[in-house]
Amino acid sequence: MTTRLHPVWFPAVLLAALVPTFAALGVWQLHRADDKRAVQQEYDARAAEPRLRLGPRLQSADELSFRRVVARGRYDPDYQILLDNRVHNHVVGYEVLTPLRLEGGDTRVLVDRGWVALGESRAQLPPIETPTDVREISGVAKVPSGCGFMCRFVFGTPPTNTPGWQPVWPRLDVTRYAATVPFAVQPVVVLLDADAAHGYVREWTRLDDGIVVHQAYAAQWFALAVLAVVIVTVFLRRHASRRSRR
């Protein structure tokens, strides 16, 4: 003889099953906050070290990540890219990344010169002014985050093997960029200092700015877990009370 669960119990069982899921999601958000805090601590420590001068010799991403760097060379606007769907103060625009040809060789490093507004439409790109003289730039070297399957599904794939240079990219993939251009590229992007005169809007945020957001999400998940427990408890008490009155 098999015991069948009465349909009235289904909501209670479902909510009880969701409690550990909600709790696990809350813990996951706290772990993400801890990860960002650790990365910010590493960033602060490495940014306090003496500046590195970038040259034509290719360096590793680990060697350059989070370091303050200086570089001298000429911008190469022919291989400039605009990262699409970047938002500043609720306005959609592009992030302007221009390769700098480093003195002494043919190696480039991508320099993030800041944000520029979209303009009237996507059919017409905003005018980007790029200095043509030799410049010495300084900023923080950042290794762009990777992009997995879901990222590629949402944002698409950067253009490759397309006639002519495609300036608008949905996201930055330095490895793919290096495979697309006819020169060597350092494995980082330099976030141009905010006081540089030859750029656009640059309000770089700290890496740990998102910690409060993760903590808020964690609180929401824990609150849902508590709410589920309360609902199940009330349901069981009412059900028991109805049975006792029969």
- Measured CA to CA, the distance from residue 60 to residue 190 in angstroms comes to 14
- Measured CA to CA, the distance from residue 229 to residue 207 in angstroms comes to 35
How far is C-alpha 97 from the chain's CA centre? 16
**Environment class of residue 209 by beta-carbon count within 10 Å: exposed (0-12), middle (13-18) or buried (19+)?**
exposed
Instruction: Provide the pLDDT for residue 243.
Output: 65
Domain ranges for the chain, please list them: 17-48+207-239, 49-204
DSSP code per residue over 27-42: HHHHHHHHHHHHHHHH
Tell me how long the chain is: 246
Instruction: Provide the pLDDT for residue 155.
Output: 38
Q: Is the pTM of this model over 0.95?
A: no
Instruction: Provide the pLDDT for residue 13.
Output: 73
Tell me if 78 sits within 8 A of 165, measured CB to CB. Answer: yes
Helix ranges, the chain (H):
10-47, 61-64, 149-155, 174-180, 211-245
- Non-local CB neighbours of 218 within 8 Å, separated by 6+ positions: 26, 27, 29, 30, 33
Q: Assign 66 to helix, strand or coil.
A: coil
| Token code pair at residue 86 | 């970047």
**Mean pLDDT per segment of 10 residues, for the chain of length 246 residues?**
55 75 86 75 73 92 89 95 92 95 95 90 86 92 63 43 75 91 95 86 71 80 85 74 66
